[in-house]
Every structure is written in C-alpha cells, then in structure tokens.
Structure 1
Amino acid sequence: MLKTICYISDSNINNSTNELKELLRVAKINNSKNQITGVLIHKSSNFLQVLEGDQKHVDALFRRISLDDRHQNIFKLLETTIDERYFEGYKFGFTVINTRNALKNLEDYLNWLRDAENLIANEIVAMVKNFITR
C-alpha cells in the first residue's frame, strides 16, 4: 500500500549550502534504497517535505525525521494512503529549492500535477505552493 506524508518543520540547519547539500545527498541515497519519492523544500529556516512510497518505509522515515535534531516543531499537514505516486515523475527528485531555476522547475511540475485533477494531488499542490510563496 502506498502512503504519502507532507509535513513542515523548523530547520536547525544554519542555512549553510554545504550542510543542505549533505542532507540532500544522504536523503537521495536512503530514499532511493527504499523507493521513496517526493520533494524537499528549504526556505527561510523551514522545511516542507512530501514523502511517498510503501507505507512501512514512509512511516519508518518519518519516525527518523521526527528524531533528527535538524528538525524541530514538526507538523504533519497530510497523511493518507494513495493509489499512485505524485512525485515519481518529478525529474529533480529530492532537491533543495534554493534557486530561481529550481523554483521554476518545481512550479512547472506542480502546475502539471494540478491539471491531473486528483483531489489529494491538488491538496499537496496547494500546500507546496502556499509554502513557496509565503
């Protein structure tokens, strides 16, 4: 069974590009091993992340994130089962959105995803768009 979790958290990372790159590097390796897809956005000392994949892998990853001292004040925005992955086609995978180009690529993908007219996908799109525009 597939599951998605979308959460926000305060970041304890000092906005260092190197620290974010290392977080992304490790996340890509671990998420690839467990076939977890999604997106990670770091903005203004906050994270928004969408995780999707096999229920046991997503739950295990969220437990690890909850214990990770790089996050505090974690708040789940969405937790539900899904019939299909929404970010499997997102060619940038887990990436930190910290440039205009990366933001444009994400917005283009979100617009495409919204056009699928799936209620859960539209809910995720709204949360992500709200996060990146605030």
Structure 2
Amino acid sequence: MLRTICYISDSRLNNSLIAFDSLTLKAKKNNATNNITGLLVYKNNNFLQVLEGKHETVDAVFNKISLDNRHHNIFKIIDTTIEQRFFGEYNFGFTVVSDKNALKNLTEYLNWLRIADNMIANEISTMVENFISR
C-alpha cells in the first residue's frame, strides 16, 4: 500500500521568485530520488502540496518539510493509505504549478481524475480546485 499526505502552509518566501524556483528545483530532484509523486502549488503566499509514495518515505519527506523554515502554519488535510498513485502518470510524476498553462493542464487532469469515482481522488481534486480558485 501507498500513502498520500496533502497539506497547506503559509510561505516565508515573501513572493520571491528566485527562492521559489530554488525550492521547486530541489523538491523535484528530491521527490524523483525518493520516488515521490504529487504536486506543489504556490499561490497567494501559500503552498498546497500532495505527496504520494511508500509510507516511510512520505512520512520522512513530510517531517522534513515540517522542519523547513520556508513553511509555517502547516496544516495536514489528508493523510491516508491509497491503493494507487493519483499523480504517478501526470507530468512525469511531480508537478509544480507556477503558470497559467500548468494550471490549465492541472485543471483538465483533475476533471479526468474526478471521473475515476475514487473518494480520495475526489477529495484531492476538490481540495486542489478550491485552493487554485480562491
């Protein structure tokens, strides 16, 4: 079985594009190394992230994020086991949503994911859609 954790947090990046680019490059590299799939959305000085992978690996990554001073007020929204990855086949496994085109592609994917008739997939889709539309 796999695990997914979805969280939101406030950012201490102060909308610094350079700091965000550095964070996303590191996240993509680390997540690829650890076989973590999911997505990272940054909007209005907040993060929303979905992490998917082996239980121990997801726990370790989330614990590391919890200690990262670029995040504060971390709130875990979903923490559950899953039978399959929802983002494993999407955009090479881990997506950073940072422009309108990426947002459009994500919205289309979430619409497709919603059809899967999976309760967790629907929760994740709703959570991400609410976050990006606010």
User: Does structure 1 conserve the Cα–Cα contact (< 8 Å) formed by 2:13 and 2:45?
Assistant: yes
Residues 20-68 of structure 1 show CA distances to partners (whole Å, capped at 9, x for unaligned) of: 1111111111111110000000000000000000000000000000000
Residues 1-26 of structure 1 show CA distances to partners (whole Å, capped at 9, x for unaligned) of: 30000000000012122211111111
Q: Post-superposition shift, 1:99?
A: 1.5
2:62 corresponds to 1:51? no
CA distance in 2, matches of 1:92, 1:109: 13
User: Does structure 2 conserve the Cα–Cα contact (< 8 Å) formed by 1:4 and 1:51?
Assistant: yes
AA partner of residue 68 (structure 1): D
* Number of corresponding residues: 134
Match of 1:105 in 2: 105
Match of 1:128 in 2: 128
Structure 1: 5+ residue stretches without partners: none
Structure 2: 5+ residue stretches without partners: none
Match of 1:30 in 2: 30
SS in 2 for 1:128: helix
Match of 2:116 in 1: 116
SS in 2 for 1:96: strand
CA distance in 1, matches of 2:47, 2:19: 14
Cα RMSD of the aligned pairs, angstroms, is 1.1
SS in 2 for 1:35: coil
| Percentage of pairs with the same residue | 61
SS in 2 for 1:61: helix
TM-score by length of 1: 0.96
SS in 2 for 1:32: helix
CA distance in 2, matches of 1:130, 1:37: 21
Match of 1:13 in 2: 13
Match of 1:64 in 2: 64
